[in-house]
């Protein structure tokens, strides 16, 4: 196995009865970076993470995590793995200090190491004043800092974070991501699932999941520049009229409204997307400013997930 890879998977599949939650996913996740799973709810992000840490057994396919074959060597991986569940899963009725103390003992840290690590993490994640407070009485951001502290007590090589910021305000999210970059700087590999575009854009690499399948993979910048669609922005006085004029164009695969602007995705083989739209709007008597713009990550997501709601799915890059 490639020593530069933290995680490698081939054909990873997990079925629950008739439902296939994860369907033939291949992964090659490099070390010391932040790797993102982007996808809507039910796209298989959480199931994939659970397969990677041995919480679930795959129905088919193979996974190696930090050189351990999963789920066979799951127990050997434990010490090198930090896991933050989607839901806060420390104990509400224990204080911050008690929660950290408990997790440190579970990970087999000796008394001196425990004191040192808890003090260091309380300092790093601003938990010093909260040590004697019960976790159940804290805010979403504070709980999340506690959960991150608990997951990194034993200085894991790999950190799996399942939608860590879903219950957190924007400022806490920013701080949280700063903490993640600090961890990566020290050599930690981080795998994070999210459904926020701005978070996905911060990742070193990204996998877009839809209905259990990996539909796009790469660095966010590459994904945006290599998008398999033409992106056109329309600024019209009468947005509704503009929208109506473009509604039945077979080359337009998706239109999203952003305030007074419309954001259209057209088939990549459209000869002159900008001209085509200008002509259409002109024909309908709608005055608008039309320009080609670079794709956003959201555009990549819309293309990769096959223009949800449109008739024919377009082939996507893989």
* Residue ranges binding other proteins (CB under 8 A): 50, 53-57, 71, 74-75, 78-79, 81, 83, 85, 87-94, 98, 101-103, 105-108
Measured from the CB of residue 92, what is the shortest distance to other proteins in angstroms? Answer: 8
DSSP symbols for 54-118: TSS--SEEEEEETTEEETTTHHHHGGGEEEE-SS--S-TTSBHHHHHHHHHHHTT--HHHHHHHH
Nearer to other proteins, 162 or 201 (CB): 162
Q: What are the E-state strand segments in the chain?
A: 5-16, 19-30, 34-38, 60-65, 68-70, 81-84, 158-162, 189-194, 205-210, 213-218, 230-236, 252-258, 261-266, 288-292
C-alpha separations of 122 from 19, 118, 156, 259 in Å: 42, 6, 17, 43
State the nearest-atom distance from the C-beta of 58 to other proteins, in Å.
11
Q: How far is the CB of 39 from other proteins (least distance, A)?
A: 20
Residue 160 or 266 with smaller CB distance to other proteins: 160
Least distance from other proteins to the Cβ atom of residue 148, Å = 13
Q: Which is nearer to other proteins, 65 or 281 (CB)?
A: 65
Q: With respect to other proteins, which residue has the nearer C-beta, 54 or 164?
A: 54
Measured from the CB atom, is 2 or 89 closer to other proteins? 89
Between residues 77 and 130, which has the closer beta carbon with respect to other proteins? Answer: 77
Q: Which is nearer to other proteins, 95 or 172 (CB)?
A: 95
DSSP code, position 311: S
In angstroms, the first-to-last Cα distance of the chain is: 22
Q: From the CB of 30, what's the least distance to other proteins, in Å?
A: 22
What is the per-residue DSSP string for 208-230? EEETTEEEEEE-HHHHHHT-SSE
Question: What is the smallest separation between the CB atom of 301 and other proteins, expressed in angstroms?
Answer: 28
CB of 41 to other proteins, least distance (A): 17
Give the list of residues 6+ apart from residue 205 with CB closer than 8 angstroms, or none.
29, 30, 33, 34, 35, 36, 217, 218, 219, 220
């Amino acid at each position: 196995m490639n020593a530069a890879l933290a995680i490698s998977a081939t054909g990873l599949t997990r079925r629950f009865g008739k439902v296939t939650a994860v369907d033939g996913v291949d992964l090659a996740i490099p070390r010391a970076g932040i790797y993102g799973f982007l996808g809507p709810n039910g796209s298989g992000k959480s199931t994939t993470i659970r397969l990677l840490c041995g919480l679930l057994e795959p129905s088919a396919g193979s996974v190696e995590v930090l050189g351990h074959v999963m789920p066979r060597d799951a127990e050997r991986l434990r010490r090198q793995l930090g896991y933050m569940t989607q839901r806060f899963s420390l104990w509400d009725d224990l204080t911050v200090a008690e929660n950290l103390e408990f997790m440190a003992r579970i990970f087999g840290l000796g008394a001196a190491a425990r004191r040192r690590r808890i003090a260091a993490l309380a300092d790093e994640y601003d938990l010093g004043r909260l040590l004697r407070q019960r976790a159940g009485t804290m805010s979403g951001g504070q709980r999340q800092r506690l959960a991150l502290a608990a997951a990194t007590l034993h200085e894991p090589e790999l950190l799996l974070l399942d939608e860590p910021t879903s219950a957190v305000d924007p400022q806490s999210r920013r701080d949280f991501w700063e903490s993640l970059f600090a961890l990566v700087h020290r050599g930690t590999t981080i795998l994070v699932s999210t459904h926020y575009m701005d978070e996905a854009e911060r990742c070193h690499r990204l996998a877009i999941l839809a209905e259990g399948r990996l539909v796009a993979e790469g660095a966010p910048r590459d994904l945006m520049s290599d998008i398999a669609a033409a992106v056109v922005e329309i600024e019209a006085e009468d947005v509704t009229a503009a929208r109506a004029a473009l509604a039945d164009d077979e080359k337009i695969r998706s239109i999203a409204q952003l305030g007074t602007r419309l954001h259209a995705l057209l088939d990549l083989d459209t000869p002159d997307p900008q001209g085509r739209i200008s002509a259409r709007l002109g024909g309908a008597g709608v005055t608008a400013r039309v320009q080609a713009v670079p794709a956003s990550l959201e555009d990549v997501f819309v293309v990769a997930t096959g223009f949800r709601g449109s008739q024919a799915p377009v082939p996507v890059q893989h």
